[in-house]
Amino acid sequence: MTVTASRALGPNPQSFGSMFWENQFKTTIPLPSKDDSLKDQVAIITGSNSGLGLESAKQMLGAGLSRLIMGVRSIERGQEAAAQLRTVSTDAIIDVWQIDMENYQSIQRFVRRCEIDLPRIDFVILNAGIAPAYHAKLATGHESTVQVNYLSTVLLSILLLPVLKAKRPPGPEAQAPRLITLGSVTARNAKFPNKSQRPLLPSFDQITPALPWDPNDRYAVSKLLCQLTLERIAARYVDARDVVILMLEPGWVRGTGLFRALPAIPRCIVRGLLWVCGRPLEQGAATYFDAAVRQPVGSHGSYVMNCRVAPYADFLYTEEAEGVADALWDETMDDFSFANALEVLESMKKP
């Protein structure tokens, strides 16, 4: 088992407040420069019709990206965004493909299309995510935040791994494809009150006295679950020479639309706070560019914040974390049995 760079760092000694102040007020993310070239490269960005996904697509195309696959839920909104992007680059091929992160079959179809239609993939940015204000149970049987931000993101990651390995750019000097998922520093503050419940995943699906609905904590927990599982995938199953997996914190960013589901008054409050504290959209998107282009191979499996490897959430370094991670792993692989996810991961160990 590989020890990731984030694991080796140990818990973050900074307080959350100090870290937030440094991130939002004292850190400037470098934007792509004229020397950055993505000529001949192919990228997939989910949730790329708005916010960070759209802005990162603009930056990639501005650096000469040759082909962009926009993974979106609404083809109509995706085509509208693609029209904007074609004004940034008239030479690039820009495709709009549907993917519904609430639907496992849609995820499988998207992966099959990547396998069939793309001769090369250089990086994938899984930017799609939600922060709903209210509890909702989906057709999958799972609560929507956990479904979209954790389960569907991890399933899509797993199914894309052998595709990325097979579609890596040619040549001995070529960089291994990057698989980048959207993390959040809020995982550090996750209360995770049901962490001892077994089975674990079904406990998120109902509102109970022991687990009342808390949308802020549910979002944070969904990102914590990703850290628990994606670290294991990177450390035990995936060689960085085949695919580099990164969990990215873009900062608290203005103009993302993440909080659009909030009721009117809380939404106005958040918008005011973002106006004061939020990172500009172009700097948030530049963290995606850094992860895709500049992060060293040694960052594989790590959590990246401010363009540097950072510690995971504190919980991952506790004694109880391994037991929770084991239970989460078993339940997640069982949920993904229809897609043979564990067999897919085992195949990544083969030359």
pLDDT at 118 over 90: yes
Tokens of 231: 């670290």
- What pLDDT digit, counting tens, does each position of 42-86 carry? 999 999 999 999 999 999 999 999 999 999 999 999 999 999 999
Closest CA to 138 of 96, 109, 106: 106
Q: How far is residue 46's CA from residue 53's CA, in Å, rounded to a whole number?
A: 7
Closest CA to 218 of 203, 233, 232, 228: 203
Name residue, tokens 């569907």: 152
Task: Average the pLDDT over 120-145 and give the result.
Answer: 96
Name residue, tokens 């980048």: 180
The rounded mean pLDDT for the chain is 94
SS3 of residue 168 by DSSP: coil
Q: Which residues are catalytic?
A: 219, 223
Domains of the chain with bracketed CATH: 5-347 (3.40.50.720)
Tell me whether strands 302-305 and 178-182 are parallel, antiparallel or unpaired: unpaired
Q: How far is residue 325's CA from residue 228's CA, in Å, rounded to a whole number?
A: 6
| Percentage with pLDDT > 70 across the chain | 95
Tell me whether strands 308-310 and 302-305 are parallel, antiparallel or unpaired: antiparallel
- Cβ burial 205-229 (10 Å sphere, 16+ → b, else e): beeeeebeeebebbbbbbbbbbbbb
Bridge-partner residues for 303, per DSSP?
A: 247, 310
The least confident of 11-25, 212-226, 322-336 is 11-25
Name residue, tokens 């990162």: 56
Give one DSSP letter per residue of 49-101, joined into a string: TSHHHHHHHHHHHHTT-SEEEEEES-HHHHHHHHHHHTTT-SSSEEEEEE--T
Which 3-state string (H, E, C) describes 153-216? HHHHHHHHHHHHHHCCCCCCCCCCCEEEEECCHHHHHCCCCCCCCCCCHHHHCCCCCCCCCCHH
pLDDT at 260 over 70: no
Closest CA to 277 of 17, 90, 50: 17
**First vs last C-alpha separation in the chain:** 17
Q: Which residues contact 215 (CB under 8 A, 6 or more apart)?
A: 131, 132, 133, 134, 145
Tokens of 130: 């939600």
Amino acid at 180: I
Say if CB 249 and CB 185 are below 8 A apart: yes
- What pLDDT digit, counting tens, does each position of 212-247 carry? 999 999 999 999 999 999 999 999 999 999 999 999
Q: Rounded to whole angstroms, what are the CA distances from 71 to 145, 275, 306? A: 19, 29, 25
